[in-house]
Amino acid sequence: MTWDPRSLPDLSGRVYLVTGSNAGLGYFASEQLVRAGASVLMSGRHPNRLSAARAAIRRRVPDAAPDATEPLILDTSNLGSVRSAAASVRGRGGLDGVLLNAGIVHAPRARETTIEGHEVVFATNALGHFALAGELLTALAEASGRMVWVGSMSARISPYDPVDPHLEDRYSAWRAYVQSKVATAALGFEADRRLRAAEVPVASVVAHPGYSTGGRTPGIAGVNEPSRMKRFRDNLQAAVAQSKEHGAWPLVRALVDPEVQGGEFWGPRTGTRGEPRRRAAPKITRDTEIAARLWDVAESATGVHWPFEQAAAART
């Protein structure tokens, strides 16, 4: 099947949730979904930033329906916020897909923890999305929907095994980011294995954006406003880098392409840039023992146990 990321299939009547949709990959994924006719629940931590992002979509997609986007306050580092947002979404009925995108890319130099006591990068990038996906499982099953977890090339560059996922020892910003992305992808693949085993009609897919930078991304007021110096620095990497607009392509294809199957890994054609293609996932993210261990850690840390039986019964 030929896939044109600039001309998606008609998504009218579909409803998607995108986490971290006020900027970066999440914003452009939301815009691309709206252009194709979908309704998007745009989530983020800051109401003003969400308002700016929704206004940008209205400017850039003037023929979109007035209710094409809806704001949802959600902080994936805060489990109370996750539960509250999930309850709001479940009240709407079926959900066609959720893009688990929100996250910390530039980790703090010194270790920080959330109000629940979890290391903040692991909590934001992995634990919050594990909890959110579990809380939304029945809504996704009602629509035979799909969840997409956002991985990273870093898991291939520095394949850290998260034996200490909260990094109580040997914390570094790079290790915190990589471990969180190893965990995110491993949980995404493990989710698909468990969903299949329980016969839940929800696919779990992992995708990554390649090397996508703000300095190679279109300037949009309130969404992406890089300095001249950032533009200059990022454009020096043009041979390997791409815009976040293009970085959203694999994420959106993984979310909406009917040919995509659960358990697959999608990314740019060259690995760092280009059109979305099915890729081979980093070996560490496919290790079933690591994934099962991380699943237990996530259940214990979040208190969320996915309702597989209830979701299997909810299928249409």
Catalytic positions: 177
Q: Which pair of tokens denotes residue 279?
A: 């890729």
Q: Could you give the C-alpha distances from 181 to 151, 156, 206, 220, 304, in angstroms and in order?
A: 5, 10, 11, 28, 20
> What DSSP line would sit under 138-177, residue for residue?
HHHHHTT-EEEEE--THHHHS----SSTT-SSS--HHHHH
Q: Which pair of tokens denotes residue 202?
A: 């929800």
Radius of gyration, CA atoms only, the chain: 18
How far apart (Å, rounded) are the C-alpha atoms in residues 126 and 129? Answer: 5
How far apart (Å, rounded) are the C-alpha atoms in residues 66 and 53? Answer: 14
